[in-house]
Structure 1
Amino acid sequence: MVEYETLKLIWWVLIGVLLIGFVITDGFDIGTANLLPVIGKTNNDRRIMINAIAPHWDGNQVWLITAGGALFAAWPMVYATAFSGFYWAMILTLFALLIRPMALDYRAKIDNPRWRSACDWGLFTSGAVPSLIFGVAFGNLFQGFGFEFDELMRSHFSDSFFDLLNPFGLLCGVISLTMISMQGASWQALRSGAPVQERAAKMARLLAVVTIITFAIAGVWVAGMPGFEITSAIDPNAAATPLSKTVTVVESGRWISNYSEYPWTLIAPVLGFSGSVGVLLLATTRFHVLTFISSSLAQAGIIMTAGFSLFPFVMPSSSMPSASLTVWDAVSSHLTLGIMTIIAFIFVPLVLAYTSWCFYKMWGRVHGEDIAKNTHAY
Structure 2
Amino acid sequence: MLDYMTLRLIWWAILGVLLVGFAVMDGFDLGVAILHPFVARNDTQRRVILNTIGPVWEGNQVWFILGGGAIFAAWPPLYATSFSGFYLAMLLVLLGLILRPVAITFRSKGESARWRNAWDWLFFISGFLPSLLFGVAFGNVLLGVPFHFDQSLRVAYEGGLIGLLRPFALLCGLVSLTMIVMQGAAYLARKTEGEVAARARRIGAVAALALALLFTAAGLWVALGVDGYRITSEIDPSGPSNPLLKTVTTGAGGWLYNYAAFKWPAAAPALAYLGALVAAVALAVGARTVALFASSLSVAGVVTTAGFSMFPFLLPSSSHPDHSLTVWDASSSQTTLGLMLAAVVFFLPIILVYTSWVYYVLRGPVTESAIEAGDDFHY
Is the counterpart of residue 183 in structure 1 residue 183 in structure 2? Answer: yes
Cα separation, 1, equivalents of 2:13 and 2:23 = 15
> Displacement of 1:137 after TM fit?
0.5
Partners of 2:201 and 2:286 within 8 A in 1 = no
Moved more, 366-375 or 207-216: 366-375
> Displacement of 1:310 after TM fit?
0.5
Is the counterpart of residue 151 in structure 1 residue 140 in structure 2? Answer: no
Moved more, 279-288 or 22-31: 279-288
Match of residue 237 from structure 2: 236
Cα RMSD of the aligned pairs, angstroms, is: 1.0
Cα separation, 1, equivalents of 2:144 and 2:350 = 37
- Which amino acid counterpart does residue 34 of structure 1 have in structure 2? I
Partners of 1:198 and 1:284 within 8 A in 2 = no
Match of residue 26 from structure 1: 26
> Displacement of 1:90 after TM fit?
0.8
Cα separation, 2, equivalents of 1:202 and 1:85 = 39
Cα separation, 1, equivalents of 2:372 and 2:192 = 14
Cα separation, 2, equivalents of 1:176 and 1:338 = 33
> Displacement of 1:44 after TM fit?
1.6
Unmatched 5+ stretches in structure 1: none
Is the counterpart of residue 13 in structure 1 residue 13 in structure 2? Answer: yes
Cα separation, 2, equivalents of 1:235 and 1:206 = 47
> Displacement of 1:260 after TM fit?
1.4
> Displacement of 1:372 after TM fit?
1.5
Partners of 1:371 and 1:377 within 8 A in 2 = no
Match of residue 293 from structure 1: 293
Cα separation, 2, equivalents of 1:129 and 1:241 = 35
Cα separation, 2, equivalents of 1:227 and 1:286 = 41
Is the counterpart of residue 223 in structure 1 residue 223 in structure 2? Answer: yes
Cα separation, 1, equivalents of 2:22 and 2:65 = 9
- Which amino acid counterpart does residue 244 of structure 1 have in structure 2? L
Partners of 2:314 and 2:325 within 8 A in 1 = yes
Cα separation, 1, equivalents of 2:178 and 2:148 = 33
Match of residue 74 from structure 1: 74
> Displacement of 1:261 after TM fit?
0.9
Cα separation, 1, equivalents of 2:30 and 2:6 = 34
Match of residue 268 from structure 1: 268
TM-score by length of 2: 0.98
- Which amino acid counterpart does residue 82 of structure 1 have in structure 2? S
- Which amino acid counterpart does residue 227 of structure 1 have in structure 2? G
> Displacement of 1:273 after TM fit?
0.1
Match of residue 373 from structure 1: 373
- Which amino acid counterpart does residue 249 of structure 1 have in structure 2? T
**May I ask how many residue pairs the two structures share in their alignment?**
377
- Aligned-partner SS, 1:242: coil
Cα separation, 1, equivalents of 2:244 and 2:131 = 33
> Displacement of 1:249 after TM fit?
1.3
- Aligned-partner SS, 2:109: coil
- Aligned-partner SS, 2:237: coil
Q: What are the Cα deviations for residues 323-354 of structure 1, in whole angstroms up to 9, with x where unaligned?
A: 10001100000000000111111111111011
1:192-341 counterparts in 2 under 5 A?
192-224=192-224, 225-250=226-251, 252-341=252-341
> Displacement of 1:42 after TM fit?
1.7
Percent identity for Structure 1 against Structure 2: 47
Q: What are the Cα deviations for residues 121-146 of structure 1, in whole angstroms up to 9, with x where unaligned?
A: 11111111100110001001111000
Q: What are the Cα deviations for residues 161-209 of structure 1, in whole angstroms up to 9, with x where unaligned?
A: 1111000000000000110110000000000111100000111100011
Cα separation, 2, equivalents of 1:264 and 1:366 = 41
Q: What are the Cα deviations for residues 220-268 of structure 1, in whole angstroms up to 9, with x where unaligned?
A: 1001121111000010001211000001112x12111111111111110
- Aligned-partner SS, 1:284: helix
Runs of 4+ in 1 over 4 A off after TM superposition: none
Cα separation, 1, equivalents of 2:182 and 2:29 = 11
Cα separation, 1, equivalents of 2:27 and 2:100 = 13
Match of residue 109 from structure 1: 109
- Aligned-partner SS, 1:249: strand
Is the counterpart of residue 120 in structure 1 residue 120 in structure 2? Answer: yes
- Which amino acid counterpart does residue 230 of structure 1 have in structure 2? I
Match of residue 57 from structure 1: 57
TM-score by length of 1: 0.98
Partners of 2:312 and 2:326 within 8 A in 1 = yes
Cα separation, 2, equivalents of 1:17 and 1:148 = 28
Partners of 2:227 and 2:254 within 8 A in 1 = yes
Partners of 1:36 and 1:49 within 8 A in 2 = yes
Cα separation, 1, equivalents of 2:286 and 2:217 = 31
Cα separation, 2, equivalents of 1:374 and 1:115 = 21
1:32-47 counterparts in 2 under 5 A?
32-47=32-47
Partners of 1:32 and 1:185 within 8 A in 2 = yes
